[in-house]
Structure 1
C-alpha cells in the first residue's frame, strides 16, 4: 500500500464529489464482485428483502450490525468500505477540517508495566466494537498516562484520527480552536453547548475522542452517548474513578502494578524484577550503580514497592525520599507509615490517604464489614478461601468483592496453583483500618456471609527484607 492510498483510508475530510446514495454504493459493490442479491444474502446472513430495500434506498438507516455483515460479505476494506459507511451516515456528514486534529501530547517518560493494558485498549477500540470506554481506577494508578500512550499509539499508526479534548477551549479563528471549544463546552455541560455542530464535524468517520481529565460536568457522559448515536464511527476514551452505574459503555479497570516477589538481581535484569520494582529502579537516579547491584538494596526497594501496593504515583514519591534516606531506612518507615512515603518530601497534601479514606467511608455498612474481614487475611486469597463454602459465593459476595476492586481497595493478586484468581486488600487500606481501630465484627455465618478465618483485629503486614 503506497502512502497516498494509506492517507486516503484515514482522511477525515470526505470528497465533496462523492455523493452516491447508500443503495447505489451497495449495488455497485455487489456487481463488482459478480454476485446476485440472493448470493450476497448467503454470504452475509442478511435477508434478500433487506438487501433489496437498501439498494432501492427504501431503507435509509440500516442497523450497524446489518451494515457490518453486508460489508464483510462483500469483502470490502479500506476506502471502499469507508465510502459505504459514509453513505449510510446520510448527507449531513461534512467531516472535520484537516487542521483540527492536533496530535495528542507526547509521553515524555517511559511507561512501565502497562504494555498489556495498552494493547488491550487498542484492541477494544479497533476490533471490539466498543465505542464508549472508561479507563477506571483509583487515583495515582496511572490512568492518565495509559490513555495518553493509547492515544499516541493510535495517532502514530494512522489507524484512527485522534481528537484530544482540552478541558478548556475558547472559540478562535482556526477550525481546530472552534472544534476544541465545542468539545470543551460539551464536557463542561454548558447549556449553550452545540452537540449538533460536533455531530456534523465528526460525521461517520472513524475518530477517537480522548478525554484525559477524570472530571466532567453534570450530564457530560449522557451528552457523549447522544453524540455517539449520531456519529457512527466515533469512539470515546476517557478516565474515571469509578465505573458506570447505568451499564452503558465499557469499563476497563486499571490496577496497581504487580509487586509480586521475583528473583532479586542486578538492575539490568528487568525480567527478574516485578513491574513495580522496574518503575522504582527507573526513578533511582540518586543511587549509585553499585548499590543497585547489591541484593540487599534490591530487596529493600522491592519491599518498599510491596508496602505501597505497586501504585505508580506512590512509588515515584518514595523514590524522591531516596535522596534523604537509605533504602533500608525507607523500608523500616514503610512498615510504620507507608503513607509518609507515598507523599513527596515537602508536600503536605493528604494524597492517597484522603482518597482511600473517602472510598472506605463511602462504603455501605455491609460492604465495609466485608472489607474488614478480607483485610484480616494476611496472604492473597481466593473466593473459596475467603468465604465459608462454595454455596456462599453468590451474587452478594461477588458483588461486594467486585465493588471493592473497582473502588481500588482490593486488587487482583495472580492465581493459585490451580489457576483460580486470587485477591488481596491493599496494604495501605490495612493501615487505614488499623489506624481507625475498627472493632472486629461478629461472624456472619448465619447470614451466609464471610467466614472470619483470622484472629480479631486488623494487623499491618510486615515487609522486612
Structure 2
C-alpha cells in the first residue's frame, strides 16, 4: 500500500497539530498533492509532510509565507496559519532598528508613552513640519512601549519597502486599494494593543478608517504622525518642534545632533561652537536639514555653509550623497506641499511672520482681523511647525525654510 510519501496522493497521515490540520485542509480544498504544493511553493515535500504531521515545533515564518502564497490564502487564513504555527498573528511588528541614537527627544518620547498608557488618550497624533523627526520619535515610542507593556505593538509605515507580508496588520491596512478594516477589527477585537501608523505618505491611511477602527476595538490605542493637526475630535495633538539651536549653551540639542553626524562620517576635527549654532539656527533646528547639511562639510568651509543657509536653507537640505538622500528625502517639496495645503487665511497670516518676530496682536493689527482669529491661526501654524518662538515672550516668526519659499530669491551655490 502506497502512502502520500511515495505517491504524492492528496491525503497524508493523520495530522497531529492544529497547524497540520489547517494546512492539510487547505491543501485538500485546493486539490493539491504534497508534491504539487512543493513545486508551487519551493518548500520541500518532506517539510510539508512534517508540518502536516506536527513534527515541526517552530516553523520558519518564510516557510509559512511561501505556503500561504502557493495556496492562495486570504489574509485571514494566513493569520490562522501563522497563529497555528507558533507565530502569533497579533505578535508585535516593530520598526527597523535605528542606525543612530535619538538626540534631544527623550522628554517627548516619555510624554507620548505616558499619554498612551496612563494618560487616558486612545489616539495621539504627533504633528510637525517635514523633516522634524516625527517618524524617528514614533519609532522610539514603539520600542519603548514594546519594552514597557506586555501588549502587542504594531508598526505600520505606508512608505516602507518592501511591501508588508500578507496577513499582517500592515497588510490589512495597506495591502489593497483601501484598508480592510473589518478583517483588522476582527483580528484585534478586545485585545489591548498599540497601533503606530507613520503616515509618511499623507492620506494613505484615511483618518476616518482609523477612527472607525478605534470604535470597533475598545482596547486599541493609536499613534499617528502627520504634518498638520488632525480634524478628528478623537485625536490628541502633540506638536513636535524643531530642536533648540540656542539657549542651552554650546551643547544645544541641534548642535549635538549635527556634531554626532559629523563624527559618524569621519569628521573628527572640532568646529567653532558659535558657527555651529549659527548653522543650526539657520536650518531651523530641523533634524533632517542638519543631517543633510553634515554631508556638505567635506566640500565647503563652515562659514560658507552658514552663509548659504542664511541666504536659502534649501541649498543645504539636498544631501551631497545618495545614502543621506534616502534618509532625508526632498524637504523643499514636502514643505511646499504643506504650504499649498493651508487655508488661504492662514497663508496670509503666515506671510506676516516672514520678517522679524510678531505677536498675536501685531499680526491681527497688520492683517486687519480680530485678535482671536489671529490667535487661532497662529496656534495652527505653531502646531504644524511652520512658525517658532523668537525667544521674546509672545513673539513668533516663520521658519527660515518657510521664509525662503514665501519670499523666493535667486541665489547661487555656496562660494568657496
TM-score bracket for the superposition, by shorter chain length: 0.5 to 0.7
Kept in 2: contact 1:103–1:155 (CA 8 A): no
Partner of 1:274: 252
Partner of 1:203: 189
Q: 2:335 aligns with which of 356, 367, 372?
A: 356
When residues 288 and 209 of structure 1 are mapped into structure 2, their CA distance, relative to the original with a 3 A threshold, is: closer
Q: Structure 1 CA distance, aligned partners of 2:337 and 2:211? A: 29
Partner of 1:132: 123
Give the TM-score, by structure 1 length: 0.61
Give the TM-score, by structure 2 length: 0.67
Deviation of the 1:226 alpha carbon? 1.6
Q: Structure 2 CA distance, aligned partners of 1:220 and 1:288? A: 43
Matches for 1:368-387 after TM superposition, within 5 Å: 368-377=347-356, 380-384=357-361, 386-387=363-364
Q: 1:242 aligns with which of 228, 242, 245?
A: 228
Kept in 1: contact 2:127–2:227 (CA 8 A): yes
User: Are 1:122 and 2:113 matched, yes or no?
Assistant: yes
Report the RMSD for the aligned CA atoms in angstroms.
Answer: 3.2
Matches for 1:21-420 after TM superposition, within 5 Å: 97=83, 99-100=88-89, 101-104=91-94, 105-165=96-156, 167=158, 168-171=163-166, 177-185=167-175, 189-190=178-179, 193=180, 195-215=181-201, 220-264=206-250, 273-285=251-263, 289=268, 291-292=270-271, 297-345=272-320, 351-377=330-356, 380-384=357-361, 386-388=363-365, 394-413=371-390, 416=392, 420=393
Deviation of the 1:434 alpha carbon? 2.8
Deviation of the 1:402 alpha carbon? 2.0
Deviation of the 1:210 alpha carbon? 1.2
SS in 2 for 1:236: strand
When residues 421 and 184 of structure 1 are mapped into structure 2, their CA distance, relative to the original with a 3 A threshold, is: same
Q: Structure 2 CA distance, aligned partners of 1:246 and 1:180? A: 22
Deviation of the 1:422 alpha carbon? 3.9
Deviation of the 1:397 alpha carbon? 0.7
Deviation of the 1:322 alpha carbon? 0.6
Q: Count residues with an aligned counterpart.
A: 316
Deviation of the 1:254 alpha carbon? 1.3
| Deviation digits for residues 300-329 of structure 1 (CA, Å, limit 9, x no counterpart) | 111111100001000000001011112122
When residues 179 and 383 of structure 1 are mapped into structure 2, their CA distance, relative to the original with a 3 A threshold, is: closer
Q: Structure 2 CA distance, aligned partners of 1:218 and 1:253? A: 21
Q: Structure 2 CA distance, aligned partners of 1:113 and 1:350? A: 21
- For structure 2, the 5+ residue unaligned runs are 1-79, 412-416
Deviation of the 1:236 alpha carbon? 1.3
Kept in 2: contact 1:383–1:393 (CA 8 A): no
Q: Structure 1 CA distance, aligned partners of 2:305 and 2:205? A: 45
Kept in 2: contact 1:189–1:217 (CA 8 A): no
Deviation of the 1:253 alpha carbon? 1.6
Kept in 1: contact 2:198–2:224 (CA 8 A): yes
